[in-house]
Structure 1
Amino acid sequence: MKFITTFSWKPDPKIREESIARFKKTGGLPPKGVTLLGRWTNVDLSGGFDLIESDDPKAIAEFSLMWNDLMELTTVPVLEDEALAAVLQRFGG
């Protein structure tokens, strides 16, 4: 299943420094059980989003735990258009 994780952080020099250091150290890669399909960061560095894939909610929680001390995170499951079209096809109206 695919998920979008949005992230944002407030302008705080200490948090920014820690975020940069952690990203340099880890590459921002998720734990085993989560595949990073893409990451996009706002050009003003206020936040962005990751497109991830996993069938393991514990691995998703672990990925969140790796970063939620530094930023606000929201993770939601998403559907691609083909899957959504199948749902809409069954919907009368």
Structure 2
Amino acid sequence: MTDVKEITEAVQEQVLSALKVGQTAIVEGVRTFTDTVGSVTPESLKLDSVPGLDSLPDPKELMSVSFGFAQELLNTQKEFAQNLLAAASANGSAPAQPVSKKS
């Protein structure tokens, strides 16, 4: 019999794989669209010609800061969950093995 951990890991791998395939398709679609639009757009309408564009924050930097914050939130939640599990156990530390099922 396959245990819950193995099933969970297999499902997680499948979800991540499907997510990556979808993301790759989206990135390629956006790249194709951008290349096509860029090839037919006059120079006077390209983003480089927009006044004040250089004063806006760098999108890559904003993304990095946002994902850094999200990672810190996830780390904080993980630590909280670990501490909560330890506090909820009888001796103050998380049980090493799950409680066996009673027949």
**What's the TM-score, normalizing by structure 2?**
0.27
Q: Which has the larger radius of gyration?
A: 2
Higher helix share: 2
From the two aligned structures, give the one with the greater strand fraction.
1
